[in-house]
Chain A
Amino acid sequence: MRHDDPAVTWVEEPKLGLAGKMYLPLFVQGLAVTTKHLVSRKVTISFPEERPEIGNPLIYRGVHRFNKDDQGRVKCVACFLCATACPAHCIDIVGIESPWPDREKYPESFQIDELRCIFCGMCEEACPVDAIELTSLFDLTGRSREEMIFDKEKLLSVYDQTKDAEPMKSKSLGGTV
């Protein structure tokens, strides 16, 4: 780089005013800022006892759940759209012929590896029958990798756990069923 290169724009430092040169006015200003922060509301909380407020649970992207229809059956039709959409390739579905007349297939097994999942919500977007949804549970833990692979039963139990606090998004957002 040459200093007379026309592509180079030279930015001069702004000149200090008298307050800046005197130091003390700016010093007091800095102290005022820190004092304000000292007494202002804190952004952290004592976590396990206090829970953070989740702005809108309906659009929060936490642990998945598997929705049930009004007869208590799993809503999924094993169309594989979510598995196709998933950028992390963490959905594994085995679909078999459905015992019910209203659909052709249903998942015999459905697994989501929550450790691989990046919680992007693409599966939720892709699902044509709104069977899979992301809840606002954010603090999932496990003692082993196996434990973090959520199968159908576990995903359905997440639905039972959250269905009262978070109604199915499909209804409130004008979705299918």
Chain B
Amino acid sequence: MSLTTQTIEALIKLAIVAGGVMTAAMYLVLVERKMAGWIQGRLGPNRVGIPLTKIRLFGLGQPVADALKLILKEDVTPAHVNRRIYNLAPLIIMTAAVSVFAVIPFGSIIPGEGLGRENPIPLVVAPGIDVGMIFVFALSSIAVYGVILGGWASNNKYSFLGALRSSAQMIAYELPLGLGLLGVVLATGSLQLEKVIGVQADTGIWFALSQPLGFVVFVVAAFAEAARLPFDLTECEQELVAGFHTEYSGMRLVLFLTAEFIHMITAAFLIVILFLGGWHFWGLTGGSEDAVTWLGAIVRIVVFMIKILAVILFFMLVRWSWPRFRFDQLMNLAWKMMLPLGIVNLIAVAIAVEMSASAGASLPWIVYGWIVAVVAWMVTAVCSPLMTDNTARVGDATVGAPLEKAG
């Protein structure tokens, strides 16, 4: 295989992924608005269809109209900002968000024969990267830079507070996220995302089944990393106007918002790949080493996309189900619950991998994983580290006590 065909192949995949992710982000905004409407008893956006006609198509034109509106809007740069960093921040966050997809598979493999290749083509832009997961995590940490720089350069107290919160939150949740991930890495023995799917497909046991505790920890942390409700402290409208992007408008704002949506998509991809078996479904897709036909390849892609859509819909449903955490509760949850639970999970998985012949993928070890999860969860619940009750109560001498005069 010459270098050029490799380049062309990578470029085609790149176009598919970048285009797909962008379009998906646009349409997911519509889905989110629709869901919001339905849950609140409204119909949601349903007017925009084909322009100049009466055809409405259930509002499918809405994303295009939104994009046009935002592009045509005036891009205000306030006078008091640090111009260079202000312009740089949205670019950083967007670049980081999109580059993650270089190592994230969006399907399994497609047969190469029809395309003049002897080997099957893996459906990932950069196949076989051994440090795939580290790459994902490094890039999603860089996204925080975009947030902090944006908040800092805006020279606005709301932006700054949002950025500060964001950095604290990201640091707090990177740890449980990593711990949830480590369990999977231990069980597969690889940092390669394709490999993780492969292991789950071969054993037929998704890691959500064998490591339920790690799954819960990872999902909660993923919500926080994507800054979705109930963890959207970085931009809670009621307190911070819009958080770190208060001063942004026009195209730059679009970059921020899209990047946020892409973070959610990334989180959904990771959850599905790491814990929900990727493209695997029992009896439909076969193992990772089996030869695939075109039909098989398409079935795998469809299964994969359905799972991802389901996770994203779950994200959206949660958004309208739960109120936002207070900041101290958020920190408590990370440091007092998620971190210990993550460590417990890691130890449990280590024991399972060490003791069992199948690296924890047999029935007794699944039962063991669930027992660990339930017991650990109960213990944390009974110790209730999340209780941050700071209401005034009877006998609290500080209530109503006269203020001491200074000096």
Binding site for B on A (CB under 8 A): 1-3, 5, 10, 12-13, 16, 18, 21-24, 27, 30-31, 33-35, 37-40, 42-46
Contact = CB atoms under 8 A, between A and B. Distances in A.
B391 A35 contact: no
A40 B38 CA distance: 8
B38 A22 contact: no
Looking at B46, B392, B394, the one whose CB has the most chain A CB atoms below 10 A away is: B394
Contacts of A13: 389, 391
Interface string B315-338: 001101110000000000000000
Contact of B396 (A1, A3, A39, A46): A3
A42 B38 contact: yes
Contacts of A40: 41
B115 interface: no
Contacts of A33: 321
B137 interface: no
Contacts of B39: 34, 37-38
Interface string B38-58: 111111001000000000000
Contact of A34 (B320, B394, B395): B320
A42 B40 CA distance: 8
A40 B83 CA distance: 49
B72 to A, nearest CB: 27
A46 B387 CA distance: 45
Contacts of B294: none
Given A1-B399, A42-B42, A43-B42, A27 B317 contact: no
Given A22-B381, A24-B377, A46 B46 contact: yes
A44 B41 contact: yes
A18 B38 contact: no
15 contacts: A10-B394, A16-B384, A16-B387, A18-B381, A21-B386, A21-B387, A22-B378, A31-B318, A33-B321, A34-B39, A35-B317, A37-B39, A37-B40, A38-B35, A43-B41
A42 B41 contact: yes
B381 A23 contact: yes
Contacts of B318: 31
A3 B394 contact: yes
B84 interface: no
A38 B393 CA distance: 40
Contacts of B317: 31, 34-35, 38
A44 B38 contact: no
Given A23-B381, A35-B317, A1 B43 contact: no
Contacts of A46: 43, 46
Nearest to A5: B400
B400 A3 contact: yes
Interface string B300-323: 000000000000000001101110
Interface in B21-75: 35, 37-43, 46
B41 to A, nearest CB: 4
Contacts of B46: 46
